[in-house]
Structure 1
């Protein structure tokens, strides 16, 4: 397998995700962030890096049905983002982690009563956060 190189462009993409870790970011959003930083990248290069980072487990990809586009969340090397649901405020875009005992209740209920195994890594609940109510 070919080694993954840490290019300046990839480092800038990582920096944007770390600075906006509570947001879901699309390729076009990333393009704007990088341009504002004075480090623009070709959109194809951004997509290629997002794909590689998703394959490596650094990002989680979601489908934004409202905007009909892919959006990405930075998880880095934290495995816990693959084991809980995420909640997104439809007004401000903030992403929150559902990391409480209720997660186990949901998982057990779905398994016991519906014979369904929940896969959390691409699951997101939409609603309005307390700051936007």
Structure 2
């Protein structure tokens, strides 16, 4: 049984792209990363197909899509079927690219503080705080 809400047609390109994303689910990847990987496997998929597939996977809620503020580059991360990323903030290591989900009580306290004390509703979807992880220090 598929845990995703929506079903989408499967193509070979989609299959290869999804496999790559699942294998790299702890980091964000760009369309260029995916294209290079497919080329290394001698799989020919044009750039438009990759972007179309990524957009469909985002629409099907199978991927998270982030636009990096500095260079406006878009990166993607595979989303586990049962995980809701609208309820927590993300942290990303600027050295290794690992993206982690902050699902701790502390973040709930911050959200509540912002709402109560400042009348500000924090929108966690697509949020990323950048820093250096413990493995890269």
Q: Which residue of 2 aligns with 1:8?
A: 12
Q: Give the TM-score of the pair, scaled to structure 2.
A: 0.89
The C-alpha deviation readout for 1:37-69, integer Å capped at 9, x for no partner, is 332310000000111111111111111223321
More helix per residue = 1
1:104 to 104, 108, 112: 108
Aligned equivalents of 1:6, 1:58: Cα separation in 2: 14
Partner SS for 2:85: helix
Q: Any unmatched runs of 5+ in structure 2?
A: 1-6
1:123 to 112, 120, 127: 127
Structure 1 23/31 Cα, relative in aligned 2: closer, same or farther at 3 Å?
A: same
Q: Which residue of 2 aligns with 1:35?
A: 39
Q: Any unmatched runs of 5+ in structure 1?
A: none
- Following TM superposition, where does structure 1 have runs of at least 4 consecutive aligned residues deviating by more than 4 angstroms? none
